[in-house]
Amino acid sequence: MQTNTPSRSTIRLTRRGRLALAALGAVVAGTAVAVPLLIMNDDDSRPTTLVVPEGWRASQVYAAVDKVLDLPAGTTEKSLAKADLKLPDEAGGNPEGYLFPATYPLQEKATPQKLLSRMVDTAGKKFNGAPIAAGAQRNAMNVYQAVTVASIVQAEAATKADMGKVARVIFNRLERGMPLQMGSTVDYALNRGTPRTTAADTEVDSPYNSYRRMGLPPTPIDNPGEDAVRAAINPTPGDWLYFVTVKPGDTRFTADYAEHQRNVAEFDAEQKKAGEPSKK
């Protein structure tokens, strides 16, 4: 059931502007092709470190591990069945959200299973500690749900300063029985990197389509960093229900739909000036 939610065919809700994403480059979850960030040793013969940025999707991590270990494409993803990852039961064996963003040394006999296990073990240590668990409970969630919220925050927030507000929008919508209507979840459903959600996109039949499905998506939509997780358990106080990044550095949050529509109109005008097509 939708409560006080305008028709999704006429508006774009709670989605940051495309201009804000351009500056983030390959670090954001929307990157179409994963390019591993590597630190080389002195003779430049092989990488010694793999850096997993905040917001990468699992598919990007798999591709990066394949590349850094010089394995055929798809090898790391196929190794999941025998990786024996220590994931929460709610994950159903899917490590999305638990491939923790960090710098990982590449040991001499590194394998996809070992690297993935190290990422998941790091996430477990970060997420299962008392502060995260208590924060999740305080917001009537379990830890897995908190990580899912954090993954949306990671994908949607234009800046670190916006993360707590984005998290509050998510909670306010959930509490009011409103669909989240986040373009980032639709992009994930469509396995698409570049955010350009259209009205037709919001009709996709997927459990990740937060325009048609109520509540949180079934899994995280990327691998969030610590700032996003902290925002998910400590959302900024406020009554906001909508937000849009009109231009870089200018994200506007509001509880008033008419005001949001004016902000969206400004966003569209900025897109037109930049030569970008409107997403309506």
Query: By the 8 A CB rule, do 251 and 263 touch?
Result: no
Q: Say how far apart CA 82 and CA 35 lie, in whole Å.
A: 25
Segment 165-176, tens digit of pLDDT: 999 999 999 999
Residue-level pLDDT at 274? 79
Six token digits for residue 259: 């005001």
Query: By the 8 A CB rule, do 271 and 277 touch?
Result: yes
Residue-level pLDDT at 17? 39
> Residue 236: how many CB atoms within 10 A of its CB?
16
Residue given tokens 């997993």 in the structure block: 52
Residue-level pLDDT at 147? 98
Residue-level pLDDT at 63? 98
Segments of the chain scoring below 70 in pLDDT: 1-45, 276-280
Q: What pTM did the predictor assign?
A: 0.84
Helix (H/G/I), strand (E/B), else coil: 16: coil
Residue-level pLDDT at 107? 86
Q: What is the phi/psi pair of residue 49, to 5°?
A: -145, 140
CB under 8 Å to 99, separation ≥6 — which residues? 52, 56, 58, 61, 116, 119, 120, 123, 223
Segment 65-116, tens digit of pLDDT: 999 999 999 999 999 989 999 999 999 999 999 999 999 999 889 999 999 9
The separation between the first and the last C-alpha atoms of the chain, rounded to the nearest angstrom, is 23
Give the H/E segment covering residue 38.
strand 37-40
AA letter at 226: E
